Chain A
Amino acid sequence: QKEVEQNSGPLSVPEGAIASLNCTYSDRVSQSFFWYRQYSGKSPELIMSIYSNGDKEDGRFTAQLNKASQYVSLLIRDSQPSDSATYLCAVRNYGGATNKLIFGTGTLLAVQP
């Protein structure tokens, strides 16, 4: 089982719709969760960070965390063609000598005009 799993997609949504991206993780001691956006040929860009159960909103983006079910999701409201990119979920684990940021393989989002 991969430590951080994401559906590779592509996830295709029409312009103006809500895009829902999901991520599951295997280590129950994970404490920090991040969403990055990566355009083709570019480096990852931080969108959201979330540390507590529940929802966190920032503009059109909402991150949702459920530690009991070990999943974190990202909702993008009013999706725009410029949102088309790969979205990477990252989980930071603590414990012992481990303090690594582990990335999923990313979900490719395509917003259709």
Chain B
Amino acid sequence: KAGVTQTPRYLIKTRGQQVTLSCSPISGHRSVSWYQQTPGQGLQFLFEYFSETQRNKGNFPGRFSGRQFSNSRSEMNVSTLELGDSALYLCASSLGGVGSNQPQHFGDGTRLSIL
């Protein structure tokens, strides 16, 4: 069974640009969560999608947005990039469902560098 696939693996952008990251969950998984990981802050929750609906949102500015498609694939968009957005962006999928306690499985991440 294929794992969580994130593309691209590496990305270099400049301040003010926007970026779209993609995540394909494990087959059968309907929940997709996004995290930002930086050395100083650790893993910070961005948002979670289930059945094309945003179920939870972390404390990030509106420049960070996402969506989920009917096949459970998800995209994350960051607009007006800032130097502080340089980080590893991780996607994780799980079976989902209301009150689900299933673990999340992570993709390899997209390393975003802002120049």
Contacts and interface: CB of A to CB of B under 8 A. Distances in A.
Interface in A51-73: 51
Task: Summarize B's interface: helix, strand, loop or mixed.
Answer: strand
B45 interface: yes
Given A97-B56, A100-B48, A46 B105 contact: yes
Contact of A44 (B45, B48, B100, B106): B106
Nearest to A6: B42
A98 interface: yes
Interface stretch (A15-23, A74-82, A101-109): A101-109
B45 to A, nearest CB: 6
B101 interface: yes
Contacts, number: 50
Nearest to B101: A32
Interface string A84-106: 00001010101001111111111
Contacts of A45: 106
A101 B104 contact: yes
Given A42-B108, A43-B108, A103 B42 contact: yes
A34 B90 contact: no
A94 B99 contact: yes
Interface residues of B, number: 22
A51 B45 CA distance: 21
B25 interface: no
Contacts of B101: 31-32, 49, 51, 92
A104 B90 CA distance: 16
27 contacts: A31-B101, A32-B101, A36-B106, A42-B108, A43-B88, A43-B106, A43-B107, A43-B108, A45-B106, A46-B104, A49-B101, A92-B101, A94-B99, A97-B56, A98-B56, A99-B55, A99-B56, A100-B45, A100-B48, A100-B58, A101-B33, A101-B92, A102-B45, A103-B42, A103-B43, A103-B45, A105-B42
Interface of A: 31-32, 34, 36, 42-46, 49, 51, 88, 90, 92, 94, 97-106
